[in-house]
Structure 1
Amino acid sequence: MAEEIPVAATTTRPLGVSRPDLTVADLPTPEEVFRVKRIGPAQLVKYALGPSLIALGISIGSGEWLLGPQAVGQFGFEGVGWVIVISAVLQTFYNIECSRYVMATGEAPVVGWGRVPPGWLLWVPLSVFLVIFAFIAGGWAASAGQGMYALVHGEIPEKGAEEPRLWAIGLLFVVFLITALARRISRALELANWIMVGAILVGLLLICLFIVPWSTWWDGIRGFVTPALPPEGITATQIGALAGFTALASGLNWYVMGHYRDKGYGMGHRAGFISGMRGERSQLLASGVTFPDDAKNTALWRRWYRLLLTDMWGVFFVGAMLGMLLPTILMARAVEISGEKVTQDNVPTFVAVALDQEYGRGMFYIALILGVLILFSTQLGIFEAMVRVTTDASHATSPKLRALVEGDPRRFYYPFMLLLLVIIAIILHLALPVSLVQWSANMSNLGALIYPFMLMYLNSRLPRAARPRPWHYIILVLNFLFFGFFFLNFIADFIGDPLITF
């Protein structure tokens, strides 16, 4: 259930346009939310950290397992690695700013966009469309299906084979089951990603320590910190996709940050969450709640903000960098020992085939298992997020829908998930997995032209304690410039000649 707003909270605070004013109530304490006596290191890991793991599970997939290794496999580390690092740093700052709004208001970002002029009628439907348009292509699902086929049959599927697509559709049903069997959907996703991301990073580290020479480790690390022009021959689409899907999804990262509301961070504890079929129905507020400007709430805000920074920099950023370094040096080693070229066709299973030739069948299956875990964690997060964003937007903006589902968002969430599953199953038959992923990544960069400025508008109007410092706005502008450039270059390349060639 949503935390009942204190009776004394009779005041409201306006924020933006076209949406109801925010109710004002005190921030809860972290101990109250997580039901512990104190937040020590054990309680931090067990209860407080988590939403960044869902983002990390998505991250270690399309960018880290497909696009980064493909770029390194074709062109090497120089001129590629620094793009990865800049993208990860900028995106972590951007994630924090998106989550700042969620913690201060209890509203998912897609709902908050409706407060930006000219209002929700433009920004909420447009934002839902951009998320679905960017990710419905299903490249992440198709790639996971390829890995499952190879794992089951012990061989790589032929180009255009049908069975990998059927495996991809089957994995979409697995996502449905995970959410359906959950008591609290966000918590189920966190636990699944604790297991998958932990296994992925430990497995990749052990394999890399075993087979990758230190010279390749050094090349990878040096490539991350050495500025250089992108290598000759790489296309605008490739470099833009790499930038867009390193760490998460550049300008569209906000579509995952609503999990901080469901986790109960800050005012999210007052706003409610989407429960699973097995869970007790939660009242999800249609409009948010914020806190008063006083010393007590300022101190509580600082505590919540420190938890957010720990989750983002300590889990998401570190995990994203390891998740990019380990697969790319492994791919570099696979290219070296196989003598083959990495292509869009073979990148999902390239490493497994190369390790099979050099180290035997055992390594082949280990690499495939890791690849399937990596791609499925992405599939889990993206598929659920498209449903979540649409549910949040519809529930918040449509009184008729709230009446139709009797205030229970699950009655929209699960039927829409099944509808989306059918649509993705159809689209899966239309293009190569990695080309679909590149399209999604460049569509993510489109968001960087829009949402940083919307965040500036919203966050500058939060209670004083929650407002960003001036240099935070500079970071948001850098997001706009960096990712926006790659999107414009992608569009120019798509319709004719790119703005710049490498």
Structure 2
Amino acid sequence: MTHPLGVSRPDLEVTDLPTPEEVFKVPRIGKVELFKFAVGPSLIALGISIGSGEWLLGPLSVGQYGFVGVGWVILVSAVLQTFYNVECARYVTATGETPVVGWGRVPPGWKLWVPLSVFIVIFAFIAGGWAASAGQGVYALVHGDIPPAGAEEPRLWAIALLVLVFLITAAARRVSRALELANWIMVGSILVALLLIDLFVVPWELWWEGIRGFFTPAAPPAGITATQLGGLAGFTALASGLNWYVMGHYRDKGYGMGHRAGYIAGLRGGRQEILASGVTFPDDERNRGLWRRWYRLIMVDMWGVFFVGAMLGMLLPTILMAHAVNLSGQQPTRATVPTFVAAALGDEYGQAMFVLALILGVLILFSTQLGIFEAMVRVTTDAAHATSPRLRRLIEGDPRRFYYPFMIVLLIVIAVVIHLSLPVALVEWSANMSNLGALIYPFMLMYLNSKLPKPARARWWHHVILVLNFLFFGFFFVNFIADFVGEPLVTF
């Protein structure tokens, strides 16, 4: 049996869904098993999320303009992106295909959408602002002071951290699992440390102001540009319309039909092939019940872990930035924001707090660097493997033979690009380019998810929310382009 889906790609083979117990090798999925085995892709997404937006763009905007008029943008962005993530995960779990491969099923076909999607992801993230910002933090840790303008050493540290990402993936048996474990440690440490520091130093009135800002509808503050606000919207939670580039981890985690499709193994793992095309399930009573179980796991992973973590990840750094602004009597700039909080806290509370804040900042930015760098390689590998029979013959069915050489090439390119601009300017560029995806992919996702087996199809109101993604993030991208080439459509 096969299930036709879209154009220009083979029909999906049809076989039964696995049970969660079969995939995660446990007798039952209880609370302990849920967080020990089933939760995972959300942590990788959250590791990326608590970084460029939460440590750089959010605190930069709040530090310059306050919470009111900015906070609601954060909340709306996080809600819309979490819904969008769930819809991406729906497709991956129902078909075992990563989104970049699924786009090839949308008319006119893969020859347009697959290479274009790879180009957009790489073009958006190859600027390497997250890596350059992490390098600034390492420099400050080594020298005990913030780096001077234009210093070369922070860029060398950024390159060294890219090499560390390569080593982490190379040492893994299963790349996705290595990223999960790394993010369990980093994200857990980041949120606990931020919570303790905030409880220790941030006045309660700033806590209330930050929380109130999320729920206070107000015009954006005077002076903030559409590019700044669009960057904040784009990198709150994850990467707006380009979030799909991380959702392929549901395949590698083994969610639903991803268990039948394969995964990218590390160099320490055994040889593991990935299906060139997807596989789905029949519409019968048993599989309908199993689909509901998998969908509940997606909802727990995305709303219970990703959304909650993303909101905490934005609240805790932004109120800390607001406190740092009050302490220093200054406002952060693009050049100073990666180390601004550490410098302000160090002046007020001593060298130990300076070092602790720097370590925290490096961890936050490195978790982003780890996820984004690996994802660019992953998306390109999945796309090339699925669409090129010649490549599959050349690598003899082992995706690692493309994955690791391409990672080295990308590392070299990013090492050159990070010399071209200030780190935060690079991040703002990436964030606004992420909003470009909101003009394209929500509609492609609606097309694909409407053609899944009936139990897996999205309801009508899911499509309404995807259209809201298009309107919200698409507005910021159009305004960003207008601002880039001349005059913005809207000023505040």
**TM-score, normalised relative to structure 2:** 1.00
- Residue in 1 that maps onto 2:191: 201
* Code of the aligned partner of 1:103: T
Aligned-partner SS, 2:7: coil
Aligned-partner SS, 2:13: strand
User: Which among 396, 410, 433 is matched to residue 443 of structure 1?
Assistant: 433
User: Which among 371, 381, 386 is matched to residue 381 of structure 1?
Assistant: 371
Alignment of 1:418-457 (within 5 A): 418-457=408-447
- Residue in 2 that maps onto 1:158: 148
Alignment of 1:83-102 (within 5 A): 83-102=73-92
Cα distance, 1:462 vs structure 2: 0.2
Alignment of 1:56-95 (within 5 A): 56-95=46-85
Aligned-partner SS, 1:233: coil
Aligned-partner SS, 2:352: helix
* Code of the aligned partner of 2:120: L
- Residue in 2 that maps onto 1:5: none
Cα distance, 1:340 vs structure 2: 1.3
User: Which among 359, 364, 367 is matched to residue 369 of structure 1?
Assistant: 359
Counterparts of 1:205 and 1:47, CA distance in 2:
26
Aligned-partner SS, 1:492: helix
Deviations 1:71-111 (A, max 9, x none): 00000001000000000000000000001000000000000
Counterparts of 1:27 and 1:152, CA distance in 2:
51
The yes-or-no answer on 1:177 pairing with 2:167 is yes
Cα distance, 1:283 vs structure 2: 1.6
User: Which among 458, 472, 484 is matched to residue 482 of structure 1?
Assistant: 472
The yes-or-no answer on 1:122 pairing with 2:108 is no
Counterparts of 2:403 and 2:314, CA distance in 1:
33
Cα distance, 1:28 vs structure 2: 0.1
User: Which among 228, 241, 248 is matched to residue 251 of structure 1?
Assistant: 241
Aligned-partner SS, 1:23: strand
* Code of the aligned partner of 1:495: V
User: Which among 387, 391, 400 is matched to residue 390 of structure 2?
Assistant: 400
- Residue in 1 that maps onto 2:5: 15
Counterparts of 2:93 and 2:272, CA distance in 1:
18
Aligned-partner SS, 1:486: helix
Aligned-partner SS, 2:337: coil
Counterparts of 2:114 and 2:277, CA distance in 1:
14
* Code of the aligned partner of 2:406: F
- Residue in 2 that maps onto 1:191: 181
- Residue in 2 that maps onto 1:136: 126
Aligned-partner SS, 1:349: helix
Aligned-partner SS, 2:50: helix
Counterparts of 1:361 and 1:148, CA distance in 2:
15
* Code of the aligned partner of 1:188: A
Cα distance, 1:341 vs structure 2: 1.7
For structure 1, which runs of at least 5 residues remain unmatched after alignment? 1-10
- Residue in 1 that maps onto 2:457: 467
Alignment of 1:488-499 (within 5 A): 488-499=478-489
The yes-or-no answer on 1:295 pairing with 2:279 is no
- Residue in 2 that maps onto 1:304: 294
Give me the identity figure in percent: 80
Counterparts of 1:120 and 1:337, CA distance in 2:
54
Counterparts of 2:50 and 2:14, CA distance in 1:
38
The yes-or-no answer on 1:334 pairing with 2:324 is yes
Aligned-partner SS, 2:282: coil
* Code of the aligned partner of 2:161: L
For structure 2, which runs of at least 5 residues remain unmatched after alignment? none
Cα distance, 1:49 vs structure 2: 0.3
**TM-score, normalised relative to structure 1:** 0.98
Counterparts of 1:405 and 1:458, CA distance in 2:
29
- Residue in 2 that maps onto 1:267: 257
After TM superposition, the runs of 4+ consecutive aligned structure 1 residues lying more than 6 A away are none
* Code of the aligned partner of 1:55: A
Counterparts of 1:475 and 1:350, CA distance in 2:
37
User: Which among 199, 209, 232 is matched to residue 219 of structure 1?
Assistant: 209
Cα distance, 1:282 vs structure 2: 1.1
- Residue in 1 that maps onto 2:200: 210
Cα distance, 1:281 vs structure 2: 1.1
Deviations 1:14-62 (A, max 9, x none): 1000000000000000000000000000000110001100000000000
* Code of the aligned partner of 1:482: F
* Code of the aligned partner of 1:115: R
How many residue pairs end up in the alignment? 492
